[in-house]
Structure 1
Amino acid sequence: MTVRAAWLLAGPPDGQTRTDTRLAPLGTFVPEGELTTRDGVIAGGAPLMATGAGAMQVQVGIGRALVQGTNAQGAYPVAVTVPETLTVGDGNAQYPRIDSIVLRIRDGLFDATGETAVAVELVEGKPEASPTEPLLPPSSLRLWSITVPAGASAGTGGINWQSALADRRRYTASYGGIIPRGWGTSFTGAYDGQFRDVGGVLERWDATAAKWTTYRPPRDVETISTGATAASGYGVTAFAARRVGGVCSFTVEVTRTGTKIDVPAGGNITDQNVAALPAGWRPAYDVEGAASDGYGDGGVRISTAGNVALRTWVPGGSIQSGRNIRISACYVL
């Protein structure tokens, strides 16, 4: 037996064995309702991959999946342990059609088949000028669809598998897991806080708004108000720094405690340290900042060592003793 299902009636020839139980995916999977489960393929490798195996034959590779029956039936874990080969019927003489490859459960306790079996099957579509995918029988999971051209047969060259196969595998995951991207991403979530991956974008189901929203994780925000130290001739009167996602902004206020400094006509000052930032809050490279005392303003340099140094001021102005200077900057840590 190469297609195995757990939770089918025990007994020969296709009842559940211990091997079936070990191979089939058991556990609680993503719910869709109070008693129903999101059926789908279990990701990992290239599960249940379809490839052409001949002019009119297709092969479905190994893999695992979950097939949901009715509410009363529950979900059936399935494992395909050996590749399955299916033969596609010849094309209609006039119109193309679309066939579907499915995993199908037959459970005579719940359906009219009178059987207890699981299989990889072809469901043949209706030939039409504009064909659509066929409706599926109960307890089936669509894996692939095949466009069968009008008149296709082994004698006419068969099917061009590269263009005929359409991937219809949708995926499921364990409860609380992130649903991988697959075919058919326009589905509603089952519970608030459910996650899915759509083309590399993580989305979260917002039950209140009844929609998927791009998930943006909370950014680490840190603040500090102590730790800045004054350089000789200055006193630190206030300090506040905040960093979000590795970007820091800070403000330090210093008071000139030494004598007045007269600024040359050119406005340049020999780098004069006024304060030092605490470790962990220093820039990754030297950056520029702004300074003002309410009467004049200038520029500062913040070094990787955390030194805050005045470099320019209002030409011909002065840095008065006892006057507060407010310095601010924003940079990458």
Structure 2
Amino acid sequence: MLHLRAVCPPDRTGEALDVLRAHAGTAHLVVHRGVAVSPEGDLVEADVAREAADEIVDALCALDLDHSGGITLEAVDTALSDAADAAEEAAPGEGADAVVWQELLGRTGEESRLNATFLAFLAIACLLAAVGVLTDSAVTIVGAMVVGPEFGPLAAIAVGLVLRRWDLVRQAGTALAVAFPVSMALTFGVVLLGSVTGLFDADAVVNNHQVDFVYKVGPLSLVVALLAGAAGMLAMTSAKSAALVGVFISVTTVPAAGYAMVAVVAGDWLRFLGSLGQLVVNLIGIVAAAAIVLMLRRRVQRSPSMERPLSRG
């Protein structure tokens, strides 16, 4: 179940209530008259089945509540109610398979913004990857994969391409185009400083064979990227978000970026080019597979509000 809250101008409250009452996937409908302060109006609350949420949100957006008021959704972890059970039974489909398009747009839009936090996570992930390469530690490489935040913008690009939301594509593309070079430059500086001061020997990377998979790009690299992109988009468009951790561990985008900088310091240009190739293959493969999955899901479920401009809220 999802908990829906809608701030409504008083003249729209009746219509909003009609929308919610008319849908069998609604339970626990509550109205608070005149409690909203900014913007002023009434507060309408309800629990809705996930598989009904997209249709209900579209109907509320058709009343212009996303501009004249506000609509929020949050997951309900536990609902002990016969009414809630009945709503989930009455709503068509399965909750785990339902795509809430506005939720997807909001989530990918938020995770694809270029900010200090995104830069910090990507830089730390690249540095961890470099340490993993220098110490021949596959465990540290896996840690770098988990820390890396790059899947958010990649998913946002796929969403933007499929839904023709070019504002989302630009936002996510800018985040990746800026964050990766900055993080790689920082990693290069740290590795170079460590090499000059004798903290470690970058040339030793030639004998570190446990992490060779990072720079050895091939057909299987594309296969893994495609599978990861498909799994990631399935997780983002359903209630199975826990699967994203496995997606992070399976792709070598951040490790490849870190390895490339270690290879530059070591003067190993073949491994540098191989790492860059691995990075590009993974980025393209993830976006392509995520877009294909999203197109297939869109054929089954379409939403008229998907064409609205990206909200900054």
TM-score after normalising by structure 2: 0.22
Structure with max Cα Rg = 1
Task: Give the structure-1-normalised TM-score.
Answer: 0.21
- Considering fraction of residues, name the structure with more helix: 2
Higher relative contact order (CA 8 A, sep 6+): 2
